[in-house]
């Protein structure tokens, strides 16, 4: 009988770097991979792409809105997934089902496969309590949060193994009751296919010093702090220029902020462009900015763009968070105190005036990144498979942060 795994995610697929990395890990372990995901306007409901079978299920499109909207979105995907997994388990006979959050209760859609012998893996992309603390300002010790923690822990107990994105996420769920030996780590390190080009210290930046950030434009990524830092930057670097790439709900507020500060010539919005065009613009930049707002959630996670800038050989200014500092140090990243425009401006100015430091940071970050290669992340997936199938001693899988 063929070995098969079903990956369930309330996302548009393919396109998610973390899940694609996990899929590759399953394929390397000898599994055929099926994916249940959300429908997309430009994709068929059924397709086979790069040997992976995608089934796209109907659901309410995801939007950042009210708690009621979140609930309805989650429920609208949970129901068709639950019934699809009953049918597919009978016809495809999965050995493994991996369910990614959000939401945490989505893992219970794998009830039937589990009852008939499939092993269930719960991939925690975001810790729900900390996420809802950020999105809705819910107290971490409040009644609603206690319910969310109960759902999180129930989902972990239901699963045969759990995977998180950082050591900090693992410790958070273990502190709330999860067993450490069944919690694995795979970093948000995607398949970048980027040839690093290190900074040239001899390059003349007097005509223009280019700062870039890219990705979804929402409040938690701190674009406003970056914009507010620009007047301080321009005092020392009058030819500095900030380019914000991407789209998102926070963009109109940011455009208004740029106008109110009179920064129209120093800050531009590049919008959503093709991958090749984005890479071209990233290559041109002298530094990449990762300005995530620090809060309980931010201290647990990494952003994709941090790893992308590293892989490109791009020096980085980045908010000081627990997760970032745990894996990388001051010789690799130029940290600044999150939320402080002045501290961010000081970091940018320091790198602009010190081209050798830009080179040193980029080189050291690239070397540090080698500890967390794609192969090592996929190996973590294979080790987790061995664990849930009982093919290895559990004592091997008390995960170290550098694994």
267-290 pLDDT per residue, tens? 999 999 998 999 999 999 999 999
Non-local CB neighbours of 205 within 8 Å, separated by 6+ positions: 286, 352, 355
Cα distance between residue 76 and residue 59, in whole Å: 5
pLDDT for res 64: 64
SS3 268: strand
Q: How many CB atoms lie within 10 A of CB 277?
A: 12
The residue that leads in pLDDT, 133 or 256, is 256
Which of 48-62, 165-179, 241-255, 378-392 bottoms out in mean pLDDT, i.e. has the lowest?
378-392
pLDDT for res 403: 43
Cα distance between residue 345 and residue 283, in whole Å: 21
- Position 293 pLDDT exceeds 50: yes
Rounded mean pLDDT of the chain?
A: 92
Whole-Å CA distances, 4 to 32, 93, 96, 128, 364: 5, 7, 7, 29, 40
Q: How confident is the model at residue 372 (pLDDT cuts 50, 70, 90)?
A: confident
The percentage of the chain sitting over the pLDDT mark of 90, rounded to a whole number, equals 80
* Fold of the domain spanning 209-371: Rossmann fold (3.40.50)
272: region left, alpha or beta (phi > 0 left; psi from -120 to 50 alpha): beta
Q: In the predicted model, what is the mean pLDDT of residues 42-49?
A: 95
Domain boundaries, the chain: 4-189+373-397, 209-371
Non-local CB neighbours of 221 within 8 Å, separated by 6+ positions: 213, 215, 291, 292, 293, 303
- Position 376 pLDDT exceeds 90: no
Q: What superfamily would CATH give domain 4-189+373-397?
A: Glycogen Phosphorylase B; (3.40.50.2000)
Contact between 25 and 384 (Cβ < 8 Å):
no
Q: Do domains 4-189+373-397 and 209-371 have the same CATH topology?
A: yes
């Amino acid at each position: 009988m063929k070995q098969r795994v079903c990956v369930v995610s309330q996302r548009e697929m393919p396109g998610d770097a973390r899940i694609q990395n996990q899929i590759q890990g399953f394929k390397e372990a000898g599994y055929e991979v099926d994916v249940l995901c959300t429908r997309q306007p430009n994709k068929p409901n059924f397709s086979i792409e790069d040997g992976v079978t995608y089934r796209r299920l109907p659901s309410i499109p995801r939007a950042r809105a009210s708690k009621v909207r979140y609930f309805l979105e989650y429920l609208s995907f949970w129901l068709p997934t639950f019934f699809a997994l009953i049918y597919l388990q009978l016809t495809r006979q999965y050995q493994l089902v991996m369910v990614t959050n959000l939401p945490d209760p989505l893992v219970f859609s794998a009830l039937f496969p589990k009852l008939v012998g499939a092993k269930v893996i719960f991939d925690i992309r975001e810790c729900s309590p900390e996420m809802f603390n950020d999105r809705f300002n819910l107290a971490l010790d409040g009644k609603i949060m206690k319910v969310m923690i109960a759902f999180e822990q129930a989902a972990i107990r239901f699963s045969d193994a759990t995977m998180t994105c950082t050591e900090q996420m693992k410790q958070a769920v273990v502190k709330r009751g999860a067993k450490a030996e069944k919690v694995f780590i795979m970093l948000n390190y995607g398949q970048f296919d980027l040839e690093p080009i290190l900074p040239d210290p001899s390059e003349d930046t007097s005509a223009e010093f280019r700062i870039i950030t890219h990705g979804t434009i929402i409040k938690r990524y701190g674009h406003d702090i970056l914009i507010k830092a620009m007047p301080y930057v321009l005092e020392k670097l009058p030819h500095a220029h900030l380019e914000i790439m991407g789209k998102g709900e926070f963009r109109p507020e940011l455009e208004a902020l740029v106008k109110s500060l009179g920064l129209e010539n120093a800050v531009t919005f590049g919008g959503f462009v093709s991958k090749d065009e984005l890479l071209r613009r990233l290559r041109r930049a002298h530094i990449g900015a990762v300005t995530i707002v620090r809060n309980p959630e931010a201290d647990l996670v990494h952003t994709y763009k941090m790893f992308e800038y590293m892989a490109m050989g791009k020096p980085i200014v980045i908010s000081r968070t627990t997760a970032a500092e745990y894996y990388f140090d001051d010789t690799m990243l130029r940290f600044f105190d999150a939320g402080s425009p002045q501290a961010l401006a000081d970091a940018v100015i320091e790198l602009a005036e010190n081209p050798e430091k830009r080179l040193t940071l980029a080189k050291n970050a690239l070397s540090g990144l080698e500890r967390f290669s794609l192969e090592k992340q996929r190996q973590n997936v294979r080790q987790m498979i061995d664990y849930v199938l009982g093919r290895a001693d559990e004592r091997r899988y008390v995960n170290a942060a550098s694994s």
